[in-house]
Structure 1
Amino acid sequence: MADTDVRRHADEYRRSIESPDEFWLEAAALVDWRHAPERGLDDGAAPIYRWFPDGILNVSENALDRWVAAGRGDQVALAYDSAMTGSKRTFTYSELLHEVALFAGVLRNNGVEKGDRVAIYLPMTPEAVIAMLACARIGAVHSVVFGGFAANELAVRIQDSRPRVIVTSSGGLEPGRSVEYLPIIEKALAMIIGDRSVTDAVTQSIRVVSADELSVETVIVRSREAVPGTAAEFDGRVGVRWADWDEELAKAEAVEPVAVEATDPLYVLYTSGTTGTPKGVVRDSGGYAVALAWSMKNIYNVDAGDVMWTASDVGWVVGHSYIVYGPLLAGATTVLYEGKPIGTPDAGAFWRIVEEYDVKVLFSAPTAVRAIRRVDPDLIELARYDTSTLDAIFLAGERLDTETYHWMDKALHCPVIDHWWQTETGWAIVANPRGIEPLPVKPGSPSLPVPGYRLAVVDGKGRQVETGVEGNIVLGLPLPPGSLPTLWSGDERYVSSYLTAFPGYYATGDSGYVDDDGYVYVMGRTDDVINVAGHRLSTGTLEEAINHHPAIAEVAVIGIHDELKGQRAAGFVTLKHGASIDHDVLVKELVALVRETVGPVAAFRDVTVLERLPKTRSGKILRKTMRQIADGETYKVPATIEDPTVLEALKAALAAQ
């Protein structure tokens, strides 16, 4: 790669840091404003910062109306593909605008006004996109809860955000089973009002209120043929009106977009905390729209008319940013996929979608790629499809190990790009900006900090460490547009959660290091660092070594209690499809790999082979829960877990050793 490419990125980055107001006001021209901002950053309440304080816009209008007005009304905006039901549907920009404007009328008819909250508890169906954009259209604040979350977790989120309306479906579909949503919602509402006729489960995290104090007035239900349950069956339960989606649409009239302040909240998205109240990340309207519009062009190199498929869920931040808002703000086509990378029906599902919809950019998670690798290590399914439209695959959500990177990069004609970000930031912190100029790829690194982010690595006392030394990754304040300005529960909790540990910085909670070229290496959460006889070891480094074994599909390393050394490293692995190896031989070879790569200080010797690793529905490995089980501690089954039975298999495997 030419030096000029790196210099161009460096120039953009330097400009964003030295002249942030000028840089982001220029980027603000990528969206349409009712009143264009003349000010960039408002730092009057530091360390609480706001972007574009004098700007006025509507995000839904930017995502839909302006593209229809620009002559793109007949272009496909949303392509829906359900591997669960076999159904497919496309919406042009004109058609999606009509659906959104009409459902905004439904919300208005049900008392929702600017600033009110709407809880969205939907599967991966078009109604989720429509409901989110309809909220934005009237200035309501949506709070999407991953479909299928347990009643307690749903109740906690409802009680914190206090929505007036819940938008839901009769249920969601998983391979081999369905999940009925309406009983879960009824139970969640019963928990809040202490209705013992429905549930005895009232937790300490829920403050019981009277039925008159319940914020929810209406539950709007979109029935699905594949899942039982209708609004009529539940109407009146827990003192709430349950209304049918289609019947409500028949009574509604389309509404025009409402002007909102750039600093007004667009949505609240809760982090998946396992204790106490999850943190409600606030996303503002103007900063988010500008950041996403900038990122679509400069990071993903996606323009109007291109097709982007983000294989995630609207319940996660990736789905908010790059299934719904980002592609539509760019005038692109977004693909909404209801299915899995494998098993719906096979390991060729991703490649089918790419071919069928002419996908230019695919955004997924390393865990999805590893799932494909495990089932189809020789990528036989890939050969069945034409994926020539792919310009790049972007991965985020879990650390991309070098072995998986090389496997995918060798098989595909296009670059495999790692990038790193968080629910709190809303878009990439570190990335290879293909729209500015593609940078040389360094396997194991998501590349360089994105313009706007002042990244540093510091020790426990906040002192910057030397190049190549691992420490705490922090971000200098102010954060760029699109990042959380605060938490829904208030500025005080935001400051104490993120800004107190290292004054002047936002604490990411991740550890890593920066090399001589400025490339960032994210090694894992800071609480995933293990201490073996006084030596601090990154689980990411150990996992990297183990992943080089040809039989290994996935690995998680945790630190478990050791009477002598304090902690010792324990590896939990899954094997590739068809791989067969004696356990003692595998342990010997993995120990040798770790010893060669990390050194004898790791004292690695514990290996457990599992059919599957415990994961969240978004693909993150539940290392904390695994550590608690291995140490015999009391643990709570995380609300985000994909399959609780995997934990029982883990306990059985440990007991058998």
Structure 2
Amino acid sequence: MSEPTSDGAVTAYESIHDASLRDPEAFWRTAAEGIDWVTPPSRILDDSRAPFYRWYPDAELNVCFNAVDRHVAAGRGEQAAIHYDSPVTGTKSTMTYAVLLERVRAVAGGLRGLGVARGDRVVIYMPMVPEAVIAMLACARIGAIHSVVFGGFAPQELAARIDDAAPKVVLSASCGVEPTRIVPYKPFLDEAIRRSEHQPEHCVVLQREQLVAELGERDLDWGDFESGDAAREGSECVTVAATDPLYILYTSGTTGKPKGIYRDSGGYAVALRWSMANLYDVAPGETMFTASDVGWVVGHSYIVYAPLLTGATTVLYEGKPVGTPDAGAFWRVIAEYGAVCLFTAPTAFRAIKKDDSSASKVAEHDLSRFRALFLAGERLDPDTYEWASAALGKPVVDNWWQTETGWPIACNPKGIGLLPIKAGSPTVPVPGYDVQVLDGAGTPVEPGVEGAICIKLPMPPGTLPTLWGDDDRYVSSYLSAYPGYYLTGDGGYLDEDGYLYVMGRTDDVLNVAGHRLSTGSLEAALAGHEAVAECAVIGVHDELKGQVPRALVVLKSGVDADADGERIRRELVARVRAEVGAVAALHQVDIVAGLPKTRSGKILRKTMRELADGKTPAVPATIEDASVLETLTPVLRGPSA
């Protein structure tokens, strides 16, 4: 179900999108009015060093001031800024903007007391606790550059990030709390520093009662740090250039060395503030619930910065979509805090659907203030879209973007006006993005024809200006394949209405006897079966056809795989033949207990494909549960049909 749409919404979107491409400087000059500047921009875009474009090159601001101070000054001091909800620890608390300001000033003062100054880096290695958000904002307050590393990352991955960012200080916690275990952070941090060439001067450790860490010579207790003399003195906001980095966020690289995506301060603030009103339709004073983690780009943008830049209230949720305690967890949070929208990954909804296929728990909660569900991070298959739409009776809005872009490339712009929803499509390119689908020669293809999804340069504000300390790698990774374009790495097509269809990473395209097939189309056919909770298709090597597809399917709770497995397999093969065609040549369907995923919800198709082909893959450090992959390995290593 979706909200009524009208020709007016289509006209409004087309007008705004056209204006953003026809005169981007005028468009982003107007958008910049949503930010409080120390020195307002007189120049909007510097293209003198293309392809290294810079937005607002002569402007100055402070992002923390825009996210906290200005709302207190405007009378929002007693409004809730953060609702902290932690079912894994049984803890809840609410922090007003006034209290948030007080604590951010203190931590910023503490950092300055440790010698952290404008341009210095601070690594934040923390769980989903309020102190993680406070730490990010405190860095922004003093012009330091934060790099959040997902709490619990393995020591070698943390070490690589410490060496690349060279932080003066690491802010951490004693442990993370999962539904079934306690994850000790301090031993991981100590081992990472032991392996690092760069040695941070200090580590500040938030002691959690679930596991208290032993502190060493370089370590400080967070409680003492936040209440010490430097913290009591506090810190006012340091003015930075709009082009100064706000943060570095690492994403996996094909070479094994993580890529440091860096985000500029001014363009990011403008883009996020604009997106909250125009894409997510969230106003000051309203509550947004983003079920992600501050270690990911979605957490940076839509748990922390965008809601607070807007003067909205954000929910910091330390829990899971199921198991903490059940598949009604998200509905409870929405009802309890009056959230107007939920932003999460399709994987979370597949987990909820698996545990509560009839969506019976929705009715147990008052969702009267809830207006829309936003999904991103993994392709939204039509079946999950239909299930979520029926369960909630609200618009289900797919949006597609990347760590590199920092905010959506394509979505249904709810704040401008919902366009007709097409299942399987994140709808249309967002204003500011000139999205084109190119063939191997760099020529735009006809509507309906698959190719490489690219973005014509310059990209809008908020996207990466380059990689941290590595301009050459930025060019070779993203810009060299199609000069004048940013290569997203995803394949797909635009239809005759301008709707974008993202069919998967370009290395997930199967080549079956010369026919190119996207895993997305095969997975959509499988996901439509009533017994399927989630699925993945990989292409495995075949001597005759080059590649053949192999499906891995997780069944819904209550389906008896032993009794009905063979029937379900036959039906799935028939569905693919009927919906995709005989050329797909799907013959092998493995019913499995779970699929390996990253913590952000992406299914590790490449890792599974390499295992099936007999290779030894480099398992990403971001894997959610390595035991799932261990269980799957003998299945994948087995013979392909």
TM-score normalized by structure 2? Answer: 0.97
2:529 counterpart residue number: 549
CA deviation after TM superposition for structure 1 residue 9, in Å = 0.6
Aligned to 1:132: 136
1:144 maps to which of 141, 148, 151: 148
Alignment of structure 1 residues 362-511 onto 2, 5 Å: 362-511=342-491
Question: How do 1:223-242 residues align onto structure 2 when only pairs under 5 Å count?
Answer: 223-229=207-213, 233-236=214-217, 241-242=218-219
| Aligned-residue offset at 1:490 | 2.0
- Equivalent of residue 306 in structure 1, options 286, 294, 304: 286
Change (3 A) 1:148 1:275: farther
Post-superposition offset of 1:76: 0.2
Secondary structure of 2:225's counterpart equals helix
Q: Which residue matches 2:170?
A: 166
Per-residue deviation at 1:655? Answer: 5.5
1:248 and 2:225 correspond: yes
> 1:410 deviation in Å?
1.1
Q: Which of 10, 17, 20 is residue 24 of structure 2 equivalent to?
A: 20
Q: Distance in 1 between matches of 2:243 and 2:158?
A: 27
Letter in 1 for 2:189: I
User: Are positions 1:179 and 2:163 aligned together?
Assistant: no
Matched, 1:97 2:101: yes
SS in 2 for 1:45: coil
Partner deviation per Cα, 1:197-242 (whole Å, 9 max, x = no partner): xxxxxxxxxxxx4xxxx3410000000001231xxx3312xxxx10
What corresponds to 1:197 in structure 2?
Answer: none
What letter matches 2:612 in structure 1? A
Query: 1:63: how far off?
Result: 0.2
Does the Cα contact within 8 Å between 1:274 and 1:639 map onto a contact in 2? no
> What's the counterpart of residue 33 of structure 1?
37
Letter in 1 for 2:202: T
SS state at 1:408 partner: helix
Q: How does 1:255-274 map to 2 (within 5 A)?
A: 255-273=235-253
SS at match of 2:540: strand
Tell me the secondary structure at the aligned position of residue 641 of structure 1.
Answer: coil
Among all aligned residue pairs of Structure 1 and Structure 2, give the percentage whose two residues are the same amino acid: 60
Paired residues of 1:558 and 1:571 also in contact (CA < 8 A): yes
The answer (yes or no) to whether the contact 1:388–1:413 under 8 Å persists in 2 is no
Residue 218 to residue 412, structure 1, CA distance change in 2 (3 Å): same
Is the Cα–Cα contact under 8 Å of residues 611 and 636 in structure 2 kept in the other structure?
no
* SS state at 2:171 partner: strand
The residue type paired with residue 515 of structure 1 is D
- 2:441 and 2:212 map into 1 onto residues whose CA distance is 56
The separation in 2 between residues aligned to 1:458 and 1:580, in whole angstroms, is 45
Find 2:75's aligned residue among 71, 76, 80: 71
Letter in 1 for 2:223: D
Would the aligned equivalents of 1:170 and 1:181 in 2 still touch at CA under 8 Å? yes
Higher mean Cα deviation, 48-57 or 487-496?
A: 487-496
1:196 counterpart residue number: none
Distance 1:549 1:435 in 2: 34
Cα offset, 1:654, TM superposition: 3.8
Is the Cα contact below 8 Å between 1:180 and 1:228 reproduced in 2?
A: no
- In structure 1, the residue matched to 2:8 is 4
For residues 28-64 of structure 1, the C-alpha deviation after alignment (integer angstroms, 9 at most, x for no partner) is 0001000110111100100110000011000000000
Counterparts of 2:253 and 2:473 in 1: how far apart (Å)? 14
Once residues 643 and 73 of structure 1 are traced to their aligned partners in structure 2, the CA distance between those partners, rounded to angstroms, is 41
Structure 1 distance, partners of 2:149, 2:164, is 12
| 1:121 equivalent in structure 2 | 125
Match of 2:545 in 1: 565
- Paired AA for residue 79 in structure 2: Q
Matches of 1:615 and 1:440 in 2, distance apart?
31
**Runs of at least 4 residues off by over 4 Å:** none
Secondary structure of residue in 1 paired with 2:48: strand
1:205 alignment counterpart: none
Q: What is the identity, as a one-letter code, of the residue corresponding to 1:630?
A: A
Supply the distance in 2 between the matched residues of 1:447 and 1:642 (Cα, whole angstroms): 29
CA-CA distance at 1:648 after TM superposition: 1.5
User: In the TM superposition, what is the alpha-carbon distance from 1:275 to its structure 2 partner?
Assistant: 4.1
Contact 2:193 2:199 in 1 (8 A): no
Question: Which residues in structure 2 correspond to 1:209-358 (within 5 Å)?
Answer: 209=197, 214-229=198-213, 233-236=214-217, 241-251=218-228, 252=231, 253-273=233-253, 275-358=255-338
Separation of aligned partners in 2, 1:108 and 1:263:
22
Whether the 8 Å CA contact 2:611–2:637 is kept in 1: the answer is: no
Number of residue-to-residue matches in the alignment: 630
User: Aligned in 2, Cα 1:520/1:655: closer, same or farther, shift over 3 Å?
Assistant: closer
Return the letter of the residue paired with 2:615: E
Cα–Cα, structure 1 residues 388 and 413, in superposed 2: closer, same or farther, change >3 Å? Answer: farther
Structure 1 segment 49-60 matched on structure 2, within 5 A: 49-60=53-64
